[in-house]
Amino acid sequence: MPKSKLPQLSDVQIKVLKLGTIYRLSRSSMGWSAPDDVRVYSAATIKSLARLRLIDANFDDPRGFGPCEQMKGIQNLDGARFEHSPTVPILAVWTNTAGMEVLKSLGFTPGREEISNMLAQIEATERELRHSKAFGTLPRRSRSRPKAKKSADVVSLIERRREMAKKMRNGASK
């Protein structure tokens, strides 16, 4: 894609596109989110990416991108339903090939590089954790918190990163 034809994207839109290369973002009453991400993205962010045709969806009704009140009666095309509420269809979006091309032209290359970076971050966090246990010091990033809370934070961070790296590895091998 020529540089002059690239859309101007915000940091949040870029993050959503990157997430969409790995996950399907699903709709809730609060907004759009990925399975392992605690952040909820606004309907306006997703709608703007849909207008730019950088994402695909499992529904064809444009009301699915709008506010929650407009979503009543919208059906998805793949028949996916929530386990806890089988009558409610799952509306999902993901990054399409045009979105991936935009990411590549912006310098983001999803795939093995991201996995390598994530594994390096996991190893660095594990080294910090081992060092803090061996020498009774706290990890450098969070010295203002009480000691007991820090180790639990670091352990949960390591677990989350391992899970993300595992999912990315599985997605890259397909």
Selection from 95, 78, 119, 72 nearest residue 13 by Cα: 95
Residues 38 and 59 in one domain: yes
Same domain for 51 and 129? no
Same domain for 56 and 98? Answer: yes
Contacts of 145 (CB under 8 A, 6+ apart): 153
| Count of the separate structural domains present in the chain | 2
pTM score, two decimals? Answer: 0.59
Q: Among 111, 136, 132, 123, which Cα is nearest to 162's?
A: 123
Amino acid present at 158:
I
Q: Are residues 89 and 13 in the same domain?
A: yes
pLDDT in tens, 54-112: 999 888 888 778 777 777 778 877 787 877 778 878 888 989 999 988 988 888 765 55
Domain boundary pick from 87, 105, 123: 105
* Co-location of 51 and 28 in the same domain: yes
Encode burial over 29-47: b for 16+ CB neighbours within 10 A, e otherwise: eebbbbeebeeebebebbb
Tell me the residue range of the domain where 22 lies: 3-105
Clarify whether residues 68 and 91 are in a common domain: yes
Pick the last residue of a domain from 77, 105, 133: 105
Helices 11-22 and 147-173: crossing angle in degrees, nearest 10, is 60
Considering 85, 105, 125, which residue would you say is the last residue of a domain?
Answer: 105
The per-residue pLDDT for range 112-163, each reduced to its tens digit, is 556 556 556 666 666 776 666 666 655 555 444 444 444 566 667 777 777 8
Judgement on whether residues 135 and 168 belong to the same structural domain of the protein: yes
| Per-residue model confidence as pLDDT tens digits over 112-123 | 556 556 556 666
Q: How many CB atoms neighbour CB 21 within 10 A?
A: 18
